[in-house]
Amino acid sequence: IEETLVLIKPDGVERQLTGEVLARIERKGYELVDLRMLTPSRELLTRHYLEHEGKPFFEGLLAFMSSGPVVAARVRGIRVIEGFRSLTGPTDPTTAPPGTIRGDLGRAWETPTILNIVHGSDSPESAARELAIWFAA
Ligand code: ATP
């Protein structure tokens, strides 16, 4: 059994897709074990997005992610890290397959930022690191 960090990003919260995303996680059979809503600081986001520091989209990503409330969920299940990435679909919502969260609910908008509704940890190491950041005691 493992745990992953799921984020409903500011675009998802703003579009009132929180319930839809959490419902998909629950219907898949994963367990929600902790939830919080916050507008993340740049400091928190810099830690979360460590691997993207210095990339051309980094500043825009931080500005967007700190622009409004985010819902963070601790989600538990067997192979949930891989399973939630599969529910999510690939990064670009325009071409994400129908049936996935990004494919069903996302598309391109008139902004340079990719608005793709959710984040999910991509490995056990990332999950442990990210859960410690978002659910620090
Ligand atoms: P996430 O980590 O949020 O689940 P992902 O694994 O699909 O997304 P990553 O490559 O880890 O994608 O990128 C993290 C996030 O950074 C993306 O979800 C997106 O919001 C943003 N991002 C990635 N690549 C670009 C890009 N080329 N232009 C703009 N934003 C980008």
DSSP string, 61-122: HHHHHTSS-EEEEEEEETTHHHHHHHHH--S-TTTSPTTSHHHHH----SSSS---SEEE--
Ligand 1 pocket: which of 61, 71, 134 to mutate (most atoms <8 Å of CB)? 61
User: pTM to 2 decimals?
Assistant: 0.95
Rounded CA separation 110/114 (Å):
10
pLDDT for the residue numbered 26:
98
Instruction: Tell me if 82 sits within 8 A of 16, measured CB to CB.
Output: no
Q: Is 116 annotated as ligand-binding?
A: yes
Q: Is the ipTM of this complex over 0.85?
A: yes
* Domain map (residue ranges) of the chain: 2-134
User: Who lines ligand 1 at CB under 6 A?
Assistant: 57, 61, 91, 113-114, 116, 119-120, 122
CATH of 2-134, one of 3.40.50.150, 3.30.420.40, 3.90.1150.200, 3.30.70.141: 3.30.70.141
Give 91 Cα–ligand 1 centroid separation in angstroms: 6
DSSP calls for 8-24: E-HHHHHTT-HHHHHHH
Average pLDDT over the chain reads 97
Q: What is the DSSP letter of 137?
A: -
Does the annotation flag 100 for ligand binding? Answer: no
pLDDT of residue 111: 86
